Amino acid sequence: MEWFDRLVFTFFNAGVAARYLPDIVKGMGVTVALGLCVVAAGLVLGLLLAVLRTLHRPWLTLPIVAFADILRALPPLVVIIVLFFAFPYIELSMSSFTATWIALSLVLAAYAEESIWAGLLALPRGQSEAARSTGMSWWRTLRFVLLPQALRIAVPALTNRVISITKNTALGSVVALNEVLNNAQSASSNAGNPTPLTLGAVAYLIIFLPVVLGARWLETRWRWKR
């Protein structure tokens, strides 16, 4: 069983784990806070852009479509690097947390806008016309008739994208954000042992497995039935 002892010593070293566990826990706090900020800002901005797009004003629609297409085409890592390293040249310096938060929020907003807009387009045109014929204003029609249905349709795409984007909080390690991955990598280098990376993997499971299960429950509960 010598191979098993080597495996345990390398990846599950109790002494190394105890020494660096506080750093991993601290990184978990940063990851959770960043993820919550990204989800809140990204979904609100995406919903706002989708609502503005329903106005069908070219001077609004074209910038929104360009924003969504560009942010979906760019890798999130590139957006983070541009915000953190390039913006100081125009006197807009920001912390690693802020740069990562803004970058991932913008990417999530682009996907959320397209998902919600697709949900709106999937609704029969007659629903809007019927609501307006009863005397409902454009805003009340959108708020009480169209958006609730569009959001139900968009839930599967939105939940998958939220999970994907929030996992990208690990990209913050590139700009020295002290989240789980960065702390695990630093601890592993200092210890000369990969056990902290194992702790990091467990930390990600603790953080994101409930998110995945919650998303599955939400998709089941809000499944669109035609």
- Mind listing the pLDDT tens digit for each residue in 157-196? 888 898 889 889 999 989 989 999 899 999 999 988 899 9
Which residues have CB under 8 Å from 108's CB, separation 6+? 38, 39, 41, 42, 43, 46, 161, 162, 165
What is the pLDDT at residue 105? 97
Which residues of the chain have a pLDDT value below 50?
Answer: 226
DSSP code, position 77: H
What is the pLDDT at residue 71? 96
What is the pLDDT at residue 179? 92
- Mind listing the pLDDT tens digit for each residue in 204-226? 999 989 988 888 888 787 765 54
Burial 204-221 (b: 16+ CB within 10 A, else e): beebbeebeeebeeebee
What is the pLDDT at residue 28? 94
**What is the dotted CATH code of the domain comprising 23-113+139-181+191-221?**
1.10.3720.10
Domain-wise residue ranges, the chain: 23-113+139-181+191-221
What is the pLDDT at residue 45? 97
Q: How many Cα neighbours within 13 Å face the side chain of 191?
A: 26
What is the pLDDT at residue 226? 47
Q: Residue 34: name the closest of 79, 114, 95 by CA.
A: 95
Rg (CA), the chain: 22
pTM of the complete model: 0.91
CA 155 and chain centroid, separation: 14
